[in-house]
Structure 1
């Protein structure tokens, strides 16, 4: 895994994904990289955790059960308490329409499965750099 700067070591990531294997992979990789991880199995639980766990980043799978990931994304961006949290879409699809809708809703980035945790860690560091520069 890539190294993480000291400023990133205390960052919390909310992972919203219904696939246990993906959640375990992300949890293992991000924990090794120094992140604190909170997980949700669906977007309804994810929305609640976005409001209560105060994550620094949200990794959101678009294809989550109960409430569509896009609905969660819109709810996160509409709530002043969570609107500033960078959201990274994790999608199995990679369809242009999904990506376009995500950009319109305010995502910070998107990735397609299979996920590479080292690349994600680098991506979160870039997002943090952009946030600090703004």
Structure 2
């Protein structure tokens, strides 16, 4: 459909791709091999607070959901 979808497996890769591509939207998995998912969300919400971030997680804990929402809202 003409969309470019860069993909990074680790947190640092995701941040670098975010800076390079300035996406209109981000789909971020919290479960990255280096546990960098939270750092990516935190970085993106600080650097580009108007960019929508859709967060997914395979762990499904309430604490992760709450912490991620706090990151996204800038309350952490």
TM bin, normalised by shorter chain, reads: 0.7 to 0.9
State TM-score, norm by structure 2.
0.81
Corresponding residue to 2:30 among 46, 59, 62: 62
Structure with the greater relative contact order (CA < 8 A, sep ≥ 6): 1 or 2? Answer: 2
- 1:85 aligned onto 2:21: no
How many residues are matched?
A: 72
User: 2:22, 2:46 → 1: CA distance?
Assistant: 16
RMSD (Å), alpha carbons: 1.6
Consecutive unaligned residues of structure 2, counting only runs of 5 or more, are none
| Aligned partners of 1:44 and 1:67 also within 8 Å | no
State TM-score, norm by structure 1.
0.49
Residue in structure 2 matched with residue 99 of structure 1 by the alignment:
65
Q: Partner of 2:5: helix, strand, or coil?
A: strand
User: 2:34, 2:40 → 1: CA distance?
Assistant: 10
Larger Cα-atom Rg: 1
Moved segments of 4+, more than 2 Å: none
